[in-house]
Amino acid sequence: MKYLYVSIILFLMCNSTLAQVSNLGGPILFKEKLVKTKSFFQTPAVDNLGEIEVEKERSLLSKDKIFHFGKEHTVSIDVFAAAEKTILPNGNLLYQFGIECKNAVSINLMFDKFELAQGVCLYFVDMEHKKFDGAYTSLNNNASKMLGTELIYTQKGIIEVLVPQGKEGLSTLHLGTIIHGYRNLNEMVKSLNSSGSCEIDVNCPLGAGWQNQRNSVAMMINGGAFCTGSLVNNTSGTIIPYFLSANHCGTTPGSWVFRFRWESPEGSADCATTAPSIDGPTTMNINGATLCAANATSDFTLSLLNTAPDPAWGIYYNGWDRTDIPATQCTGIHHPAGDIKKISRDDSQALSSEFGGGTSNSHWRVPSWDQGVTEGGSSGSPLFNQNHRTIGQLHGGASSCGAIAANMNDDYGKFFYSWTGGATNSTRLSNWLDPSNIGSMFIDGVDPAASTFVVDGAVSNSRINFETVCGGNLTPQIDIYNSGSSPITSATINYGFDGLTNLTYNYVGTLNAFETQTIILPVESSLINGNHSFKAIFVNTTATDENPLNDTTTAIFTTIVGGEIISLELTINCYANENSWEITDTLSTIVFASGGSYDDTTPIPIIDSVCLEKKCYYFKLHDSYGDGLEGTTIPVCANGEFSLYRSNGDLISQLLPIDANFGNLSLTKFCLGNIGIDEKIADNEIQMFPNPSSTNLTILSGFKMDKIEIKNLTGQKVFENKTAIDSISIDISSFSKGMYLVGIYSEKGFAVKQLIVQ
């Protein structure tokens, strides 16, 4: 596809150096024998260790993944009015404004009014180590009239402004915030190697094949904190520097700094060892952006960078997927703890979730990282599906190096939810990333320095509906899309199962640039029980396809012919980490499905489904503490409950809140299909007497009865015994008069008998 490239190209000479972004050129204080100012504006004292402890506590409570490194001091300083002015021999003016933050590890600045005349150069100078940040020039002017600087590792620094003769009074420079960096030097020198030892540099073998996505990610310096974000593509055919990150990282990007391509070189990367990462370049920076849209529910911000990153940096604009289809593999690329770029991987399917008691299904949960984790500073980083498309950005979670398996999860705001967001341009992604309302469900990324395609049809997102897999009559679905500029009017999809592509589907229609369409393939009913694979190949018959890399899609699945879907609805209001469940075919052998233990922030109710063959099973709900799902009064926490349903909606078993204290185990036996009838215990195998009765009831059998329960006709349970016995005497003198149902369960089968209480 032919892309237009949107950027502003300005040329400005400053100290005989071409300046486009910061860190170019050099301050005059380092080049000339000039007296540095001895007047310094002092910020209030900061307890560095105290601030670190406060941030640790805040992070534990919020579970977000922002990394605070500095104390922000709000000031109001007109730099030109407050600075020391010197007239140089050539008639140019030199302004110096000193800043001192006692005991600071670093200083960075945020100008809330920034507009420089052509030829004016701004630097921030480190007195002790002769380091500097700049030059900033009129090239950095922007619509928000704000600017943030990179960090300088010092306690004292000087703002230097060089104004050419005749340019005095034409610029505005107002300092609004001074950030006192309080992290120790080992953590804060570019924060290199500040993340955990389980983190994996992005250029390790795990990052092979993810170079494009790597190149989209940037570290953000937003005042006194670090976050992460990434560039995203749009459907206009024009490359626009849109940058996706997290709402909780802030919504005023005018003074932020975006650091691209900060990564350890290939061949020198640290791959989850205690060895230090090798530093990379820190000069590929963009200063400032304008907020386009934001939404707290799915925790996203979309900003327009003030300047498009130079394509020569190796920049990439990510593709995205706005469907609600769970990723089968999850990959994150991020800057944990403000450290050099890392990559994390989870090979399990993403789960629909929420974060911190928020809106249900607004997030994707990575269940448990297999390699790497995220940390503070990773907030806003992209989550990619198996097709290398962005599906969300990091909100927060429990994962960390050394965490137990149950706490290795993280939640990402869904791209799906953010697409429509709050239904306005300023609260959703759709108007910005699909400005012509093409309706694309997903698009691929783009490298602005690479050639693009005119003819490029493709196939993606192969999937087989869970309900059809469970029945054996499969209905495969795929998505076809046009990633080229020329319309596609016809195509052939060759597809098949278990290594074959012997079936054909012919597409006829019109698929314009960036358009997608879901294809429902014919029903397949020939597969037997077991594991299978599916493969589809897109063959463009309109013209020769120029890009074969996106022409194939695959899926793996397991069929249970004639199976039935069982649904569990579980409410755990207290101490979810104590509870887990499993479905087995006998009391202790094969586990067909399981869940938990859960994190205490798990969305309630927990809803899960499993496909089972038609035979008998046990549902076992465990509580490690021994008080079942019982709640507490301090703090107030209601009793829990669960319901287990068949596919037709029939209730298999139910635990009501009044019965929540079941001890360590709640046990239910159930049977599916005709097997439940076949395994019904014959009436003559169980004796129940006297019946009718008003005092005592005796039940006898020739085998162990695992559970006996008595319910009234409204379904309320009035008696239950879970101890394996072959006889029992039950006191029914307190029962109200009427009819009751007595359920008897064992490995032999089950029986339901009627009891009349007089």
299 catalytically annotated: yes
Query: Would the pLDDT of 275 be above 60?
Result: yes
- Nearest 5°: CA angle at 194, between 191 and 195? 125
When pLDDT is averaged across residues 219-229 and rounded to a whole number, the result is 92
- The answer to whether the CB of 331 falls within 8 A of the CB of 378 is no
CB atoms within 10 A of CB 335: 31
When pLDDT is averaged across residues 228-247 and rounded to a whole number, the result is 96
Q: Which CATH architecture has domain 683-757?
A: Sandwich (2.60)
Residue with tokens 């404004």: 97
532 catalytically annotated: no
Catalytic-labelled residue, pool 298, 368, 379, 462: 379
Q: Which CATH architecture has domain 200-433?
A: Beta Barrel (2.40)
pLDDT of residue 16: 32
> Hey, what CATH topology would domain 564-678 get?
Immunoglobulin-like (2.60.40)
Query: Would the pLDDT of 363 be above 50?
Result: yes
453-559, which class in CATH? mainly beta
Tokens of 13: 């000479």
Pairing label, strands 238-239, 4-5: parallel
| pTM for the whole structure | 0.76
Peptide bond into 692 cis (omega under 30): yes
Catalytic-labelled residue, pool 68, 174, 248, 532: 248
Query: Would the pLDDT of 114 be above 70?
Result: yes
Same fold: 200-433 with 453-559 = no
Per-residue b/e over 542-559, b at no fewer than 16 CB within 10 Å?
beebbbeebbbbebebeb
List pLDDT tens digits, range 674-701. 544 445 677 778 999 999 999 999 999 8
Amino acid at 226: F
DSSP state string for 390-454? EEEEEEEES--TT--GGG--EEEEEHHHHHHTTSSGGG-SHHHHSTT----SEE--B-TTS---S
CB atoms within 10 A of CB 155: 20
Residue with tokens 């003016």: 93
When pLDDT is averaged across residues 747-752 and rounded to a whole number, the result is 75
- The answer to whether the CB of 73 falls within 8 A of the CB of 178 is yes
Catalytic-labelled residue, pool 64, 270, 299, 410: 299
pLDDT band (50, 70, 90) for residue 649: confident
195 catalytically annotated: no
Per-residue b/e over 714-743, b at no fewer than 16 CB within 10 Å?
eeeeebeebeeeeeeebebeebeeeebebb
Domain ranges for the chain? 4-188, 200-433, 453-559, 564-678, 683-757
When pLDDT is averaged across residues 715-730 and rounded to a whole number, the result is 86
Q: How far apart are CA 567 and CA 552, in angstroms?
A: 34
